[in-house]
Structure 1
Amino acid sequence: MTHLATSLAALPLFGLIRDGGWTMWLIAALSVITLAVVLWKLWSLWRLGVWGGSHSRAALVLWAQGRPREAMEQVRGRPSARARVAQAAIGTSLDPRFDEAAAREETARVARQALFRSRAGLRALELIATIAPLLGLLGTVLGMIAAFQVLQSSGNQADPSDLAGGIWVALLTTAAGMAVAIPAGVALSWFESIADRLQSDLEDLATRVFVARDAPAAPPARSRLEAAE
């Protein structure tokens, strides 16, 4: 255990965190949490199938062609958000127990659940992107106060190098806070754009299913002989 502590203390990064004080330890913890949230979010979105949609698109084509059973088979049991919403829209449209209002409400319920899952964890990234720079600024202010206290106690015998050393250590926390907040903010913006696109796709998918359901059947095409008559 002692050997591990000695090895960590020899690392430059560990030394910077140690010199930055307790605010640097909090910022380091936020960096670990940010990485964990981003990795979990990528895994969650992959399981949600936000980058897929081939089965739901195929189901829409079959549904528009008047082949509802085949359309249902395309999305039945699929785990992706688009497939689940398409299954809810098509399934309720085929179920005589659901009128149009009830079918739309059930489809909206399934879509809301998928959208809630797509936005899970974003509040944590938003909080980190907000408080990490503030923690860095707090650490800088506390470090500057300590540096000027040393300057005041030293009087005319103050060593400028000691003052400069205290100032750069204090400014280190601001840089660290920004280094954590910027990736968190970028990840937050990216995940929000994915969720917005998913919401748009789900609304479009459900609308197309119900529009095709309510559309009147196309009249049979007349033959050339009938047209000539």
Structure 2
Amino acid sequence: MLPGLDISLEHAVTVLSDFLNKGGPALWVIAALSVVTVALILWKVWSFLLQGAFSGGGLSARAAGLWRHGDHDQALALVDKRRSLRARLAAAAMHASEDPALDGPAAEAETDRVGTRLLTSARSGLRVLELIATLAPLLGLLGTVLGMIEAFQTLEDAGTRADPAVLAGGIWEALLTTAAGMAVAIVAMIALVWFESIVDAVRHDMRTAATVILLRAPDQEAESACGEEEVAA
């Protein structure tokens, strides 16, 4: 590492450490929460990319349409072995629909089970973001209250010799935790709402594709009715 860069990095670390020390333990905890928040957001974006959550439901909708019109092989080829959430649900619905051991309600139950598992994996980490969005402002407020208590204790000890500048310095240092907590909570809440909207869109597309796939076509219903009549005869 270059000497100048080493000195600049050391200075930045010193400044950051002094800033966090002014806010006390609460500000250190909030700083740790901010690191967790950024890591969670990056991880969820990467996870959604791998799960195809940003790709839209065009592929699964096209596969469902092909399945509905009787082109089962091509429909299954579009979604089978793919990693996206929508495609995996569509493939599960197709396999359940073709399984002779599963009737209509059983196929729907199996598809619902797979969909619930996929959506649960898509929502992983969101509860932590929700907790951070709730906890960060409370920690900030706690740090502010503790800082104000310390500032007024200093004022009481000083008595008539109290310096307003010292009191003002203690108050603004105490307010640092509130500002930091609110900043972390705002970022966490924005990310949470965004991720929730993505999961809702995925859920809607999955439900639509599964309904189309599991809904029996008129010609299939006619064939089933004829088969039942032949068995009865």
| TM-score (norm. length: structure 2) | 0.86
- The number of residues matched between the two structures is 216
* CA root-mean-square deviation: 2.1
Q: Aligned-pair distance for 1:146?
A: 0.7
Q: What corresponds to 1:24 in structure 2?
A: 27
Deviations 1:60-94 (A, max 9, x none): 22112211111111111011111111111112212
Code of the residue aligned with 1:17 in structure 2: it is L
The alignment status of 1:165 with 2:156, answered yes or no, reads: no
The one of 145, 161, 169 aligned to 2:149: 145
- Partner of 1:59 in structure 2? 63
The aligned residue for residue 14 of structure 1 is 17
Shift in Å, 1:103: 1.2
Find out whether 1:180 has 2:199 as its counterpart: no
Distance of 1:217 and 1:101 partners within structure 2 = 16
Partner secondary structure for residue 27 of structure 2: helix
Hey, what does 2:36 align to over in structure 1? Answer: 33
Partners of 2:169 and 2:43 lie apart in 1 by 39
With over 3 angstroms needed to count, the CA separation of the structure-2 counterparts of 1:6 and 1:197, relative to structure 1, is closer
**Secondary structure in 1 aligned to 2:219?**
coil
- Is it true that 1:48 corresponds to 2:51 in the alignment? yes
1:80 match: 84
Q: 3-state SS of the aligned residue for 1:33? A: helix
Conserved 8 A contact 2:68-2:217: no
**Which residue of the partner structure matches residue 113 of structure 1?**
117
User: Could you tell me which of 86, 95, 100 is aligned with 1:96?
Assistant: 100
SS at match of 1:204: helix
1:225 maps to what in 2? none
Q: Deviations over 1:12-38 (max 9, x none)?
A: x33221111100000000000000111
Structure 2 portions without partners, runs of 5+ = 1-6, 223-233
Structure 2 distance, partners of 1:183, 1:165, is: 28
Instruction: Give the Cα separation in 2 of the matches to 1:160 and 1:84.
Output: 66
Matches within 5 A, 1:210-229: 210-211=214-215, 213-216=216-219
Point out where structure 1 has 5 or more consecutive residues left out of the alignment: 220-229
